A and B are shown apart, each in its own frame.
Chain A
Amino acid sequence: MTTFAPDSILVFLETTLGGEPAKSTAELLGAAAGIGTPVAVIAAEAEHLEALAAHAAQAGAHSVLSAQVDSVVLTAPLADVLQQAYELVQPQAVLLAHSLTSREVAARFAVRHKLALSVDALGVQRDEQGVIASHSIYGGAFATTSAPTFGAPVITVRVGSIEERAQAQELALRALDVAAGDSAEITVQDVSSVQADSARPELRTATKVVSGGRGLGSAEQFELVYQLADALEAGVGASRAAVDAGFIEHAAQVGQTGVAVSPQLYVALGISGAIQHKAGMQTAKTIVAINKDSDAPIFEIADFGIVGDVFKIVPRVISALEARKAQ
């Protein structure tokens, strides 16, 4: 019988629909290693478990608990697995990604165990009394910390917010046998993946992001955003106006009701800088804006701004970048 370290931090690792480890794996284990001994939980289709466990150990899990599930879409069965792992490990905190799937697993699990939920954390620390989560509220205007009144906190961590990485470990795997729970669940008939171009960095975890707004004018002209992104090796984002106009899919929306990003570089093209857009990007290290309206609010927070036409300036920026690379 394996015993678990008293300072164990249980980390629920999400699996993509294709059976790959989610992008958040390394940062969650990195965050856990900073406050205790990371123990990973994996729930996936049987054929993927072995590779996922090896990856988790490589990313810093001291031990890995794995269980087979029929689908990674429904969250009640995933919560069943986490619940069993929790009872076995008795950890000091439970970490998950603040992604659609993982936050539902967190919520279901916290309700079942009456544990305190800390959501959308940007980091975790420890004080004499236990584990504390830090947050950024109202689009980065406030920094707060939270803790539970008692018990292990269940913390969801914003994807792309943790830079620390854990040391690789030898694989210590243990299979859990989780019986199907009795939660009411929906039926999933059909899953179709939205074609993501894998060549480009993923928006949430990209170190550079180029976003386009209504100023790009049309889906065809939005191509310019992709071109600059590729020249900079950046991920692609958009304003809600650009999403509503159908220039790009909703998953690319940056802001209050979209994705919150904190990259090293954020380039806003033809985006006015409405407060709800800023809520998703104003914690970027460096902000560049190109807009033809000198009064656009985006310039109030830009480190480098150009007042002018994106269709004239961006092609020149791309050539200058290419010229630089060729040197």
Chain B
Amino acid sequence: MKIAVLIKEVPDTGADRTLNQHTGLADRAASEAVLDEIGERTLEVALKILDSQPETHITVLSMGPETIQATLRKALAMGAAGAIHVSDEQLLGADLMLTAQVLAAALRRDQYDLILTGNMSTDGSAGMLPVMLAELLSLPAATSLSQITITDGVLQGTRELEGATAQVSTPLPAIASITEALPDARFPNFKGIMAAKKKPIEVLSLADLDVEALPADTARSIMLTVNQRPAREAGTIMTDDGQAATALVEFLAKNNLV
């Protein structure tokens, strides 16, 4: 079975993230770029399949800046067989549609049985890419899965809906997106790290993929303005002396909150 795992590099959510006020792009110098946490979990899903089905072939795919290569190398060390990195200056500030078109073009170059993604990225919070790929590639998409199993060419999973869960299934080939309920990734071992040095990272440009950044028939979403919000300031902080509860209720009453 051939699996593609889509991972994304994002500004670290554990630090203050900054947008450049002129370009509206993520300020890469100000905040460290890391692999989106959901991406590690997505890779782990594929690695678990590889554990039980050794003939599985995993390719990690990412569109993003140079720095993602270290992460792709780590994915190879964990057990992925190959990596594809789409990198092009024209992709700076790419919107969802362009990202989807690029990733779809990269996926069309091979026949994958399963395309795995995270349910939502922490920088864009779109939660849309998996179904956009489903439309572009004419594949079924089982999204927002908190459980996933693959047997005899059929994917089964538990889909987390708002206020409900659904048992869903689809024959492969298919796309699946997973939630953070699934476990975090394993660490690469020494043997894996050595083996990864010999594995390929294919780098592709827009020209290689035959995708145009600004085709005449496709609207793009552009950022018009960017403003930094003033930071919040601390108010009254008191240590509990037995009276704090009363003081809190008075504070709420004064602010018309009770």
Taken together as a complex, chains A and B put the C-alpha atoms of A228 and B179 apart, in Å, by: 30
Q: How far apart sit A186 and B161, CA to CA, in the bound complex (Å)?
A: 15
B253 interfacial contact with A, CB 8 Å: yes
Q: Does B52 contact A (CB under 8 A)?
A: no
User: CB-nearest residue of chain B relative to A127?
Assistant: B224
Residues of B94-143 at the interface with A, using a CB-CB cut-off of 8 Å, are 95-97, 100, 120, 122-129, 131-132, 134-136, 138-143
Say whether, besides A103-B128, A324-B258, A146 and B235 are in contact (CB < 8 Å).
Answer: no
B236 contact set on A, CB distance < 8 A: 303-305
A107 adjacent to B132 (CB under 8 Å): yes
Q: Given that A184-B139, A302-B235 are known contacts, is A144 also in contact with B221, CB under 8 Å in the complex? A: no
B91 nearest CB across to chain A (Å)? 16
A257 with B38, Cβ < 8 A, contacts A16-B163, A189-B168, A308-B244 known: yes
**For residue A191, which residue of chain B has the nearest CB?**
B166
* Surface stretch bound by B, among A36-44, A51-59, A62-70, A149-157: A149-157
Q: Could you say which residues of chain A place their CB within 8 Å of the CB of B166? A: 73, 188-192
In the complex, the chain A residue whose C-beta lies closest to that of B170 is A186
Q: Give chain A residues whose Cβ lies under 8 Å from the Cβ of B95.
A: 116-117
Please report the C-alpha to C-alpha distance between residue A130 and residue B141 in the assembled complex, in whole angstroms.
33
How many residues on chain B are close to A (CB under 8 Å)? Answer: 86
Docked-complex contact B228 and A305, CB < 8 angstroms: no
A146 touches B224 (CB 8 A): yes
Evaluate whether A111 and B246 lie within 8 angstroms (CB atoms) in the complex, with A117-B97, A146-B223, A305-B234 already known.
no
B residues adjacent to A (C-beta < 8 A): 11, 13-19, 24, 37-38, 95-97, 100, 120, 122-129, 131-132, 134-136, 138-144, 146, 159-170, 174, 179-181, 217-229, 232-240, 244-246, 248-249, 251-253, 255, 257-258
For the complex with contacts A276-B14, A301-B232, A312-B240, 11 further pairs of A-B residues with Cβ separation under 8 Å are A73-B166, A116-B97, A143-B229, A184-B139, A186-B174, A189-B166, A193-B163, A302-B235, A317-B248, A320-B248, A324-B253
> In the complex, A76 Cα to B258 Cα: how many Å?
44
**Range of interface residues on chain A?**
35 or more
* Residue contact B238 to A190, C-beta cutoff 8 Å: no
* CB-based contact A106/B128 at 8 Å: yes
Given known A-B contacts A17-B164, A114-B218, A144-B227, A275 and B144 have beta carbons under 8 A apart: no
Residues on B with beta carbons closer than 8 Å to the beta carbon of A147: 221-222, 224
- A189 to B14 Cα, complex, angstroms: 39
The answer on a CB contact under 8 Å between A132 and B249 is: no
Q: Which residues of B contact A101 (CB under 8 A)?
A: 161-162
- The reply to whether B245 and A188 form a contact with Cβ atoms under 8 Å apart is no
User: A residues within 8 Å of B by Cβ?
Assistant: 16-17, 73, 75-76, 99-101, 103-104, 106-108, 110-112, 114-120, 132, 136-151, 153, 183-194, 196, 208, 232, 250-251, 256-257, 264-265, 274-276, 279, 282, 286-288, 294, 299-309, 312-314, 316-317, 319-321, 324
Q: List 15 A-B contacts (CB under 8 A).
A: A117-B97, A141-B229, A142-B228, A143-B226, A148-B221, A149-B219, A186-B140, A186-B170, A187-B169, A191-B161, A250-B179, A256-B13, A302-B235, A305-B236, A320-B246
Q: Chain B interface secondary structure, helix, strand, loop or mixed?
A: mixed
The reply to whether B128 and A107 form a contact with Cβ atoms under 8 Å apart is: yes
**CB-based contact B120/A257 at 8 Å:** yes
Give the complex CA separation of A276 and B122 in angstroms. 10
Contact A107 B160 (CB under 8 A): no
Partner of A186, one of B128, B160, B168: B168
Tell me the smallest distance from the CB of A36 to a CB of chain B, in Å.
18
A contact residues around B180 at 8 Å (CB): 257
Instruction: Tell me if B165 and A144 are in contact (CB < 8 A).
Output: no
Point out the residues of chain A lying under 8 angstroms from B233, CB to CB. 301
